Amino acid sequence: MPESKPRKKKSAPVEQAAAPAKPQGNPRWLVPVMLTLMLLGLAWIVLYYLTAPGMGLPIPALEGWNLAVGFVLIIAGFALTTRWR
């Protein structure tokens, strides 16, 4: 009895596996801005404590709120650390 010819199977289209993306690095501005904000906040608070009340530094109209300004700057710097890889 004659043998039948084997059928060629249609191959499924081969999907090329996507190359794993390289992990993104830090933007060049991130670390300098982060450190500047933290140091500026620290300097603001130190300046507030070390200057006499009559000198008017850093901003006399803010009075005790100068501490809040310093801490906001520091917190903004620490918030940028969450983007650091």
Domain-embedded: residue 34: yes
Q: Quote the domain boundaries for residue 59.
A: 30-83
Q: Domain total for the chain?
A: 1
Question: pTM to 2 decimals?
Answer: 0.68
User: Please, are residues 44 and 66 in contact by the beta-carbon 8 Å criterion?
Assistant: yes
User: Please, are residues 45 and 70 in contact by the beta-carbon 8 Å criterion?
Assistant: yes
Domain-embedded: residue 7: no
Domain-embedded: residue 53: yes
Q: Tens digit of pLDDT per residue, the chain (85 long)?
A: 778 888 887 776 666 767 677 778 889 999 999 999 999 999 999 998 888 777 777 888 888 898 999 999 999 999 999 998 8
